[in-house]
Chains A and B, each alone.
Chain A
Amino acid sequence: MIASIPSAVLLGVDGRPVSVEVHVSNGLPGLTMVGLPDTAVRESRDRVRAALVSSGFPWPRRRITVNLAPSGMRKAGAGLDLPIAIGVLVASGVVDPAAVAGFAFVGELGLDGSVRGVPGTLVLADPLADLRLVVAEEGVHEARLSGGACVSAPTLSEVVARCAGRRPWSEPPTAPPTGDPNGAEGRWPGDLADVLGQPVARRALEAAAAGGHHLLLVGPPGAGKTLLATRLAGLLPDLDIPTARDVTRIRSAAGELRPGAGLVARPPFRAPHHGVSAVALIGGGSAAMRPGEIGLAHGGVLFLDELGEFPAAVLDALRQPLEEGIIRVSRSRGSITYPARFLLVAAMNPCPCGDAGVPGSCRCAPAARARYARRLSGPLLDRFDLAVRVERPSASELVAPRPGEATAIVAGRVRDARRRAAERGVPVNAALAVRDLDQVAPVDGAARSLLERHLRAGRLSARGLHRVRRLARTLADLDGADGTLAVPHLTEALFLRGSRALLLGEEVR
């Protein structure tokens, strides 16, 4: 007898429908599984057998063949345990096929017959939206974010009983999410008020948050680069609903959505260590092609501390997502695309000794300094609209600090600036198209001659010019200045834009 049970597996950040076909026939007793299962799927035969026996069901002493269709795609994860178990029960005649018609199943089985949640429940529910999806109790709220009809049961025998209508589908004892569903992420490590002094870096941070400009912080050890960067996430407004869906989906696919969580409301903040591999950063590891750090940073901040220590190959992998806002990962087992539109914030020392900046303060050999600066490829450095020096605060600032502005105040200005950008039809000014610049970021006469001087002197490229105008627009927005851009905001943008010389501490002119 044959049973066909709908389910799904993860590939990247998408759920792919899988039909679990079970055939029970006469022959040598045993279970064969075909259809490119990976290790976790292959091992499910033992879990399924134990779960069936523990739940009081008979294990058919006949030949069982399980086919996972489409058979050309690799299947990963333990979520196929439950559909395989149901398939065996149906095919061996224990469960009436009519009872499970219209249901889909996703779940891992314990040896005692309990149903456990799997990573990516939300994403897995997507392709099964027109069926009633049966998941583990801990995953039901996550699965419902997809908009489909989802039910849950604690054990395999409960699943069978409830499908057959012998018992009602009851809600799990855990309460549905309320308020900020990702409470732990709503609490940022600290407030901007903790940052003493640093007026330039604070301004750059504010511009980065308001305009979506990538930010590079260069400074000696102990200057507070990391402290500043971690304050950035708190300045960003809550995610809009489409982005929140994407972020939740990606996090679900990565298995990082907390049980019982709803839509992610706050922008993520990801800070991978510089030992990160290219695969861990861009994604594509394991048969499920798990999203990487840049995918998980979608809609939020990707913070790379000690940028100079990252392998060059890893950094250059950032260029496509920085340009296009998506990442395309191709592997022998397939190709996936997922959104990766993030705000890149990086911190690094200016040189091996860390003290370069003002001439005469660094004791590194010029060759060593140049070598250190070369670790950043020109194209990557070019992506940073903002590159500023972070100096160690002076003793007087530490001992008698002037209180800095709190996150709440700055976040208010950021919100206003983003609203102005939204009125121009872009989420942030960094996304302004070049052809729109003349209309939304016009410059007055004095500012035009200033830009011309910089262009003629070779201090500014054509692309640099557009970036400076976008950044100046953001700075003007933050100061509440509409209309034509004047000299001060452009000189400020030119200054905050920094240059490679920032790393070398050279005289510019």
Chain B
Amino acid sequence: MSAADGRDRACAAALLGLPGMTPVRLARLLDGMRPPVAWAAVRAGTHPADPSRRFTGPARLVEPDEVHRRYQDAGVTVLLAGRAGYPAALVGDPGAPAVLCASGDTGVLEARPAVAVVGTRSATPYGARVAAELGRRLAAAQVVVVSGLARGIDAAAHSGALTAGPGAAPPVAVVGTGLDVPYPKENRVLWARVSSTGAVLSESSLGTRARPMVFPARNRIIAALADVVVVVESHRSGGSLYTAEAAARRAIPVCAVPGSVHSAASAGTNELLIEGCVPVRDADDVLAAVALARQGRGMAAPVPSPSGRRAPPGGPDPADRVQCSVWEAVDDTPTTVETVLLRTDLSLAALTAAGEALVDQGLLTAGAGWWSRA
């Protein structure tokens, strides 16, 4: 890194960290200007994009090289639009951030193909399982899994990708907070593992805490980085629908995992399917979609399934009529015991005994007051 390049990054990092800075304002400040020039103009109060001189006072309190040293100490690379290291997928994107912070291996950002696996934070066991399987099998098939490190589907997809073993493609995360502020806290360990195996990106400065608007904003970066976006589960007005919308605007194919029509957590994804998104059941379906997308073909035509028919789901011993009737009354999505009771007309004692046996055989998953098919 040349001295001039280092100064560019330092000034960009300093601008990014000014209070009240947004991606749009930053893009205007850096539009057609080298960062040191923009920085000097902001400091002098002569920058044409800052006529009200709102950043002048704060800028005079900051020394860019000190800011940059903090980034380097934290192991964070500052990537500038149009310079080496900036993800090629974002070049030419209308919403591309002028400055990106990255930790981990930035070389991963150029690895192709990449698939975004996103979804609701309040995932059902079904959604979490599908996301983890997709993450694992896609990573094993050398597909970079991009997600947001949020709770629920995001976390499951990343965890899945990390379990794919050695030789698998590393995951990429795009987060809303600063790279030194793991959020949500329970994903701290996962965050560190993604950062050490793959890369974590953020368009926020170090120290930026979680705020409601940063998460929809980063979704456009997730979409832009991916060849295909897969929405595993989404509520009717879920944040992952922003990702789907951002992808659609960039003509990136959007796939959705079908869910039960009774599951609130699948309402958004089922809606996407109605609107014409490609249904996917497993990694094979996604890989087919990726292949089509990379051939530059449209996604409107139905995708043939490469894996063929699935094995029929196992069931209980047909001789045990009580267990069979309970099994038939339980859905793939969590079904309350009360619902099963009303469907079967058994006594609660007989029902719970049959349920216990089915859980023991691994056919049912039991929750507090509900069962679902395993």
Contact = CB atoms under 8 A, between A and B. Distances in A.
Interface of A: 197-200, 203, 357-363, 366-367, 388-389, 391, 397, 450, 453, 475, 479, 487-489, 491-492, 494-496, 498-499, 501-502, 504-509
Contact of A506 (B347, B355, B368): B368
The 6 A-B pairs with the shortest beta carbon distances in the complex, nearest first, are A360-B265, A488-B349, A491-B352, A501-B368, A360-B124, A389-B369
A495 B342 contact: no
Contacts of B123: 359-360
Which of A199, A360, A487, A506 has most B Cβ within 10 Å? A360
Contacts of B265: 359-361
B123 to A, nearest CB: 7
B369 A498 contact: yes
Contacts of B21: none
A509 B366 CA distance: 5
B341 A508 contact: no
Nearest to B369: A389
A479 B367 contact: no
Given A492-B348, A494-B352, A508-B368, A360 B338 contact: no
B228 to A, nearest CB: 24
A367 B183 CA distance: 12
A360 B352 CA distance: 23
Nearest to B345: A199
B197 interface: no
A367 B185 CA distance: 10
Nearest to A479: B349
A506 B356 CA distance: 17
A487 B352 CA distance: 9
Given A200-B341, A450-B356, A492-B352, A359 B367 contact: yes
A199 B338 contact: yes
Given A203-B348, A362-B122, A491-B349, A198 B367 contact: no
Given A358-B334, A491-B353, A199 B348 contact: yes
B89 interface: no
Contacts of A389: 336, 338, 368-369
Given A360-B264, A360-B334, A495 B365 contact: no
Interface residues of B, number: 39
A495 B338 contact: no
Given A358-B369, A391-B336, A495-B348, 9 more contacts: A198-B338, A199-B342, A359-B265, A389-B368, A488-B353, A492-B349, A505-B368, A507-B125, A508-B368
Contacts of A367: 184
Given A506-B368, A507-B125, A358 B336 contact: yes
Interface string B187-217: 0000000000000000000000000000000
Interface in B192-250: 233, 235
A357 B348 contact: no
B338 A391 contact: yes
B197 to A, nearest CB: 25
A498 B369 CA distance: 7
A245 to B, nearest CB: 38
B125 to A, nearest CB: 5
Contacts of B186: 366
A199 B125 CA distance: 26
Contact of A363 (B122, B339, B369): B122
Contacts of B124: 359-360
A357 B336 contact: yes
Contacts of B41: none
Given A358-B334, A391-B338, A495 B367 contact: no
Contacts of A453: 360
B370 A358 contact: yes
B151 interface: yes
Which of A361, A488, A509 has most B Cβ within 10 Å? A488
A357 B348 CA distance: 19
B325 interface: no
Nearest to B350: A488
Which of B336, B347, B349, B367 has most A Cβ within 10 Å? B349
Given A488-B349, A499-B368, A506-B367, A366 B356 contact: no
B263 interface: yes
Given A197-B342, A358-B370, A502-B369, A495 B359 contact: no
